[in-house]
Amino acid sequence: MSSFNPSTAGGPRGTSAASDKLLMVRSVDLLKSKDGANRREHHTDAYFSDKLIVRRGQTFQMWIELSRPFNPKSDKLQLQLKLDPIFSSSPGIRISVPLVDVLEDGRWEMKMVEQKDKRVRLAVNTLPSASIGRYRVTVECFSPRGKLLFPCTPNDIYMLFNPWCEDDPVFLDNEEERKEYVLNSMGRIYYGTEQQIGARTWNFAQFEQDVLEACLFLLERGQVAVTEWRDPVIVSRTISALVNTNDDRGVLMGNWSDSYEDGTSPTAWTGSGDILRQYYKSSGKPVKFGQCWVYAGVTTSVLRCLGIPTRCVTNFSSAHDTDLSLSTDIYLDEKLELIKDETSDSVWNFHVWNEAWMTRPDLPAGNGGWQVVDATPQELSQGSYRCGPTPVSAVRNGQVHLKYDTPFVFAEVNSDRIYWQKKADGSLSQVHVEKNSIGQSISTKAVGSDARVDITHLYKYPEGSEEERIAVETASRFGSKPTLYLSPTDNDVSIEIVMNGAGPRIGEDAKLSIVLKNTSSKQRAASLLYEVMVMYYTGVMKDTVKKDRITVDLKPQETKIIPWTLQYEEYMNHLVDQGALMLSVTGRVNQTKQILATQFNFRLRTPDLIIKPLEDAVVGKELTVQITFQNPLSQVLKSVLFRIEGLGMQSIRMIEHGDVEKLAKVTLMEKFVPTVSGSQKLLASMDCRLLTQVHGFADIVVKPE
């Protein structure tokens, strides 16, 4: 409730006839309680904030208490809304909301819906194209005796995008999808390789304390005029630049070095709330450190918080094609050894970006819907590290001329791997082409469950189909160089690397198989060179762990399986984050000179944290939760740190555990007092220098008191 402050009112005081008296505002009630009709009808009742939070294009109600009964014949009321940037001098927005008898769509106006003595209840109509943001509200009273202004400070109104409103560009015509992509504060982010897809639960925390304020603070840092805050295309593009720190004092500093001493290891984060609060409370000091899934988690949080339907998407074998040639080039020397410093292209084991839902009135029809928005700083786009919004439909159809950044996204899911051999004179010849290896198992969380959904078909047509050929030809017209495919005449030996089941665990030997097939009716012999390298998940090689040559004889039509083992002792001192390795095998068939080449990415799987509530969870009652962890390594883990969040907590709990002995089991007993009933998640991660990507979650149903 705002109380009347006489110092804000001027003009003459009191006359004998009641309606001749100056009309003054005594108080304003914005009906902003979380369980009130405004917040419920606008789907903003989950926000921690006690402000009035509304969605544009939808009416909200408020009470005004006046100094005397309102006389519709001689009195007038009007609202003034102001949206001013706090950190820049660019002009703000002023909106007058007049009092009318009948509300019409598409106009700022208000109508009196109830009058009780000196109190009036108003229904206020907002535009579906209004700029989002924090509006200051002033009530203007007009009566025959003069005009008075009543500022409602500090009772501001927060206006958000509205996926429930058909006239809003972010309208999503499915209630289950709106619940998932706007209102769900927990999600799943996928990582690993296409053969070993891992999932981690992420707390988007978009309704938690200070997060809405942090998101609007961030938008202000974007130096975009508040008049542009009405457009989800511009807002999502701005946020993709601001979630990284590369050129605009944004949120997260990237670090792919494997050394995180002065910050938080990217694999240790379990949600976005802590990151956004740190940034906001330090007035915009970058938070350390992020990698792609952290950028995507934070972007989801910001866009969902502002009202744009958003999801995290993981692309496996994601090409980073620096010259947009639509090919990823791998160079071998005359002995068929990898030339490691020759290529600037890389293939990431996985890359996580976002999709945000909106219409695209700036593009030809058919390009609305899901748009790729990627905050991981990879390449400059119009002078800034940002990417998108890119229509997924344009990627699928190869229409790389449509904005924004479509060639880059197209190459991430469509490149071919081409192996080149460098001769002594420096000339190159193409020796092997691997088609369809890029852009695999593109994944997102299902609506309404924790299942993984494969959405590769939204990004590309089936391999070998006529539509796929046309899309690639369309894209190639805009590429920087045509690709020539050469192949030797006798291609009768094939090579493949195979892994059994879910693959090796960290702390154990890694076992794979090299499979050679001779499809000819003649004897074949091949000399192979294998090299296993420790990799960053971004496809950057750290060092070689093991290297050897083997010769293989193949009878006509024979398939030979060669078991291959990497022992724990061989890799234990080499690993980097995420336990990523690559086995590269090259070779030559003696009889035909056919070149064999293949690469296989795999990871050493980490143990989960097991989280188990020891009694029923009830609002307001202490709940004990057991968290167990087994060290899989024959090495001591130093300075182990556990992080826990979720279960309605408004911040992260950190536990400095100290050292964990080799192969030892750790059991933590943690106490919580749930504050919200319903289905909740509790998330935990364990972090230390030797072992990362260890996390777990529990679904906990909290009963009401």
Query: Which of 42, 43, 320, 351 is flagged as catalytic?
Result: 351
Query: Which of 152, 292, 312, 387 is flagged as catalytic?
Result: 292
Helices and strands (DSSP H and E) totals, the chain: 11, 41
Token code pair at residue 513:
């198989």
Contact call for residues 188 and 351 (beta carbons, < 8 A)? no
- Catalytic status, residue 374: yes
Q: Which one, of 80, 83, 114, lies nearest residue 98 by Cα?
A: 80
- Catalytic status, residue 167: no
Q: What are phi and psi of 247, to 5 degrees?
A: -145, 10
Query: Which of 374, 416, 492, 687 is flagged as catalytic?
Result: 374
- DSSP, collapsed to helix, strand or coil, labels residue 351 as strand
DSSP states along 100-147: -SS--TTS-EEEEEEEETTEEEEEEE--TTPPPEEEEEEEEEEETTEE
Q: Omega of the bond prior to 389 within 30 degrees of 0, cis?
A: yes
* Runs of H (alpha helix) within 292-443: 292-306, 392-396, 406-414
The amino acid sitting at 270 is T
Packing angle of the helix pair 273-281, 292-306 (nearest 10 deg) = 80
Task: Compute the radius of gyration of the chain from its Cα atoms.
Answer: 30
Compute the distance between CA of residue 187 and CA of residue 323 in angstroms, rounded to an integer: 34
Contacts of 578 by beta carbon, 8 Å cutoff, 6+ apart: 191, 267, 536, 537, 603, 692, 693
Contact call for residues 95 and 88 (beta carbons, < 8 A)? no
Compute the distance between CA of residue 458 and CA of residue 369 in angstroms, rounded to an integer: 11
Report the side by side order of strands in the sheet with 637-646: 617-618, 694-703, 678-687, 637-646, 653-660
Q: Which residue has the tokens 């750790």?
A: 666
- Catalytic status, residue 312: no
The distance in angstroms from the start CA to the end CA of the chain is: 30
What is the dihedral angle through the alpha carbons of 373, 378, 381, 385, rounded to the nearest 10 degrees? 80
DSSP 379: S
Residues with catalytic function: 292, 351, 374
